[in-house]
Amino acid sequence: MNELAQKRCKPCEGGTQPFTAEEAKKLLRNLNGWGIENGRLAKTFNFPNYYETMAFVNGLAWISHREDHHPDLGVHYNKCRVEYWTHAIGGLSENDFICAAKADVLFEL
């Protein structure tokens, strides 16, 4: 299991700076199929049907609530686009990569 998936999100304290492009690219190497688009960590997950798409979305909602870090979702019949970025700092933080890794683990279940 990806070591990022084993971490917990931490609240961004005042003065927390978003990752630089170099820092983000370094962490991106730990994820499978994710990319950085318009300053957001993004991936589209594909499913055979609506039921499995919604099961993933509901699982992701539980993870998001537990981590108190929520993605933007584009939900369709057989796919879900997930985008993470840390609104509080206006960029990417470790929390985004942690949650992305957890989404990947959920997808593999």
Residue 101 burial by Cβ neighbours in a 10 Å radius (0-12, 13-18, 19+): buried
Domains of the chain: 20-108 (3.30.1360.20)
Residue 32: CA count within 13 A, CB half-sphere: 11
pTM above 0.85, yes or no: yes
pLDDT digits (tens, 9 = 90+) for 49-96: 999 999 999 999 999 999 999 999 999 999 999 999 998 899 999 999
User: Most distant CA pair in the chain: distance in Å?
Assistant: 43
**pLDDT reading at 11 higher than 90:** no
